[in-house]
Copies of this chain bind each other. A is one copy, B any other.
Amino acid sequence: MSRAYNFCAGPAILPTEVLQQAREEMLDWRGTGMSVMEMSHRSGEFVAIAKEAERDLRDLAGVSDDYAVLFMQGGASSQFATVPLNLLGDKSSADYINTGIWSKKAIAEASRFADVNVAASSEADGFTTVPDQSVWHTNPDAAYLHYTPNETIGGLEYDFIPESGSVPLVADMSSTILSRPLDISRFGLIYAGAQKNIGPSGLVVVIIRKDLLGQARAQTPTMLNYQVIADNDSMYNTPATYSWYLAGLVFKWLKARGGVQAMGEINRRKADKLYGYIDASDFYANPIEPRFRSWMNVPFTLADDSLNSAFLKGAEERGLLNLKGHRTVGGMRASIYNAMPEDGIDALIDYMQTFEKERA
């Protein structure tokens, strides 16, 4: 067997070294005679694993003690409801920026709990750009301002952190967290489904400024109440222990590679190389305004859509997997998260060149 280059948008490729360690420890974690997934979440062993993962995440992302770090379940989609349930407080309205399919989903769910003000949208531009903040119609009295820094499907990424004044800034960081340095202190709340840059699915990491805790609406399900989860170190009930452990292994892997500073440089190199090749070609194209191109998700089209299946088939034969674009966008998409090695980009470009030569 050999490991494929898996360009899936999520669940996504994980570092081979992390999977190797998980394999080694599967039946017996450090001589305990147990797999991590067999451990009581309240055992000394697991609590140590959990705390170390949190510490490493804090180190990596630069999360100060002003913030609580929560390891929850239900993915980012659960957070679409959990955020308004917890952050509206005595306000009724929240601002959202609409830059793609994930923004829209967050907006649709929040609208069930709050008066949502879509303060800006790039829908009329086919989500190929981010509206300049000068034209945003934000509400200074909003409970919070929500945006999606990286649109996984469209391949659009903000190159700036919005200025929100005293309104807490909330971001769905699922597909960009830990991919480059980020000033966490600018945010009220960040959430990120794990299955892109953190670990396996079934885990969602929430980083929340502590002064925003304690505002949950009366009928918030207890398991969605940030205050309860924070007060119980994410162990109000049994957490997703094995996913938490694997996230910890990924954090160690990132630290060993120089953290987000180094990853940011590698990721920029990977993205530049791939976009550079696409732009230089007349056969491949990417529609996003260059400064807002995602470092993590690179959609591209072929000059002739009827070649798509031949392209995908040839890619698979070379172990370049899951390049098919999202059905709403079409074409191809290469998700190139932290765990995608630079060799994977080279292999993809090499194949794209060959395919273009044969078919163009």
A residues lining the B interface (CB < 8 Å) = 1-4, 6, 8-14, 16, 19-20, 22-23, 26-28, 31-35, 37-41, 43, 73-78, 80-82, 85, 109, 112-113, 193, 195, 199-203, 218-219, 221-224, 236-243, 246, 319, 321-322
Give me 16 other A-B pairs in contact (C-beta within 8 A), A8-B38, A20-B27, A242-B243 excluded.
A1-B28, A1-B31, A3-B34, A8-B39, A10-B238, A11-B241, A14-B37, A75-B238, A78-B223, A78-B237, A109-B221, A112-B218, A112-B219, A200-B241, A202-B203, A243-B243
Which chain B residue lies CB-closest to A29? B1
Residues of B close to A224: CB separation below 8 A = 221
In the bound complex, CA of A199 to CA of B240 (Å): 11
With known contacts A13-B38, A23-B27, A40-B11, A33–B223 Cβ distance under 8 A: no
In the bound complex, CA of A342 to CA of B155 (Å): 54
Q: Are A33 and B238 in contact (CB under 8 A)?
A: no
Q: Are A22 and B26 in contact (CB under 8 A)?
A: yes
Which residue, of A200, A202, A237, has the highest number of chain B Cβ atoms within 10 A? A202
Q: Are B202 and A73 in contact (CB under 8 A)?
A: yes
In the bound complex, CA of A73 to CA of B72 (Å): 10
In the bound complex, CA of A83 to CA of B121 (Å): 37
Which chain B residue lies CB-closest to A40? B8
The smallest beta-carbon distance between A3 and chain B, in angstroms, is 5
| 9 closest Cβ pairs, A-B complex | A202-B240, A4-B33, A81-B221, A77-B237, A37-B200, A23-B26, A73-B73, A1-B28, A202-B202
The smallest beta-carbon distance between A164 and chain B, in angstroms, is 25
Q: Are A202 and B239 in contact (CB under 8 A)?
A: yes
In the bound complex, CA of A43 to CA of B12 (Å): 12
In the bound complex, CA of A223 to CA of B201 (Å): 15
Q: What is the oligomeric copy number?
A: 2
Residues of B close to A31: CB separation below 8 A = 1
Residues of B close to A242: CB separation below 8 A = 200-202, 242-243
Residues of B close to A246: CB separation below 8 A = 37
Residues of B close to A1: CB separation below 8 A = 27-28, 31, 33
Q: Are A19 and B2 in contact (CB under 8 A)?
A: no
Q: Are B14 and A240 in contact (CB under 8 A)?
A: no
Residues of B close to A218: CB separation below 8 A = 112
Which residue, of A3, A10, A43, has the highest number of chain B Cβ atoms within 10 A? A3
Q: Are A241 and B26 in contact (CB under 8 A)?
A: no
Residues of B close to A81: CB separation below 8 A = 221-223
- Choose from B11, B76, B238, B321 the contact partner of A37 (Cβ within 8 Å): B11
- Choose from B3, B76, B237 the contact partner of A75 (Cβ within 8 Å): B237
The smallest beta-carbon distance between A312 and chain B, in angstroms, is 13
Residues of B close to A4: CB separation below 8 A = 32-34
Which residue, of A14, A28, A77, A221, has the highest number of chain B Cβ atoms within 10 A? A221
- Choose from B41, B74, B219 the contact partner of A73 (Cβ within 8 Å): B74
Q: List 15 A-B contacts (CB under 8 A).
A: A1-B31, A8-B43, A13-B34, A20-B27, A26-B26, A32-B321, A37-B200, A43-B322, A74-B223, A76-B237, A77-B223, A109-B222, A112-B219, A219-B219, A243-B243
Residues of B close to A76: CB separation below 8 A = 237
In the bound complex, CA of A14 to CA of B33 (Å): 12
